[in-house]
Every structure is written in C-alpha cells, then in structure tokens.
Amino acid sequence: MSAHSPFIFAAYALTFLVVAVMTGAIIRQYYGLRRALEKFPPRKGGDEADGT
C-alpha cells in the first residue's frame, strides 16, 4: 500500500464505472428497441427487405 494507492484505485474504479455505465446503457437500449419492434407485424421479406 503506497501513498499513491488512492489515486490508482480512483483511476481504475472510474474506468470500470464509465465502461459499465456505457455497456449497460447500450444493452438496455437494445432490449428496449427489440421490445418496441416486436409490436409491429413481421415484414413480408424478412430482414432481407430491410433498406434502413
């Protein structure tokens, strides 16, 4: 345990937090979009017809 340990801990904790929040937000968005899209009737051509 060095005198600089709090700085090292803070740097890694912050990095973990930012990555976790970013990943969580993207996953949450994905399932939200999937749920919303499921409420539309399936398209005749399936995914192939998608011209987005």
- Provide the 8-state DSSP code for 8: H
Residues numbered 8 to 27 that lie near other proteins (CB under 8 A) are: 8, 10-12, 14-15, 18-19, 22-23, 26-27
- 44 counts as binding other proteins under rule CB under 8 A: no
Cα–Cα dist 30/15, whole Å: 23
* Neighbouring residues of 52: CB distance < 8 A, sequence distance ≥ 6: none
Applying CB under 8 A, which residues contact other proteins? 2-5, 7-8, 10-12, 14-15, 18-19, 22-23, 26-27, 29-30, 32-37, 39-41, 47-52
